[in-house]
Amino acid sequence: MIDVGFDFTDRHVLVTGGTRGLGLAVARAFHSAGARVSVTGTKILPSLYDADLADFDYHQLQLASADAIASFVERIGPLDVLVNAAGARLSATMDEHEREFLCHSARLGFVGPGRLTQQLRHRLCASPAPGGGAVIHTHHSLAWFELTLSPADAESELRAQTAQAGRAWSRLGGRVNAVLAPQRVSVPNQQRTAPMVIDMSDSGVLLTRPKVAAEVSVEQVAPIAMFLASSGASTVSGQTLATTPRR
């Protein structure tokens, strides 16, 4: 439930990975705020997904292919907001050398969300929205860096690239920010129940359930992404916001 008022009427929002999880929650939130929303997925038809995608313009996109990204950019048209919420999905049919090459290509920004973002820079910076077009990276962007880096180094790299791009884009009329969840993001209907633990103490058998680490829900992350794309954040660029789970 989004309880903060946003108005994205007449804005075009693109959410990569908008067919499930965080991407779907963000796409639905922007649609509820009046935006025209495009989502991407790897399957050929939107009907192949469990979620109802009828409210969105669906596009098949393989972010692991530079040619697919270039073709997509030619078709997408004017754009105001890009939310990168697509994880790194590599084909299981790749041999070891192909996989290694692709992983390093993703690290260098030749494929993946970094490539897509750069290819869309001119369209986003041409947005008439206050503050210009907005790019929001999510924790899914980390997966592309983690193909070659440790989780800690991947986060440091994403933060550094976000800061650098944020400074560069602000001079061109756009902005780049990120919102990261420090722990696993929970998705509705996918909550896990902690297993029961049997404590064989002197006082008898005691069944306990260990504490589960607090999580951040997709509904909590979506309004942060919307804020970063809103006119209220028109002067914010190069920042990485970390969400804090509540017990």
| Domain CATH code at residue 170 | 3.40.50.720
pLDDT tens string 76-132: 999 999 999 998 877 667 778 777 877 878 777 788 999 999 999 999 999 999 889
pLDDT tens string 27-74: 999 999 999 999 999 999 999 999 999 999 999 999 999 999 999 999
The whole-model pTM stands at: 0.84
- Closest to 231 (Cα-Cα) out of 3, 17, 8: 8
Residue 196 falls within a domain, yes or no?
yes
pLDDT tens string 146-195: 988 999 999 999 999 999 999 999 999 999 999 998 655 555 554 444 45
Domain that holds residue 216: 12-242
Give the model's pLDDT for residue 191. Answer: 45
Q: In angstroms, rounded to a whole number, what is the distance separating the alpha carbons of residues 103 and 123? A: 27
Sign of torsion over alpha carbons 227, 41, 186, 118: negative
Residue 152 falls within a domain, yes or no?
yes
Number of domains in the chain: 1
DSSP conformational letter for 213: P
**17: region left, alpha or beta (phi > 0 left; psi from -120 to 50 alpha):** left
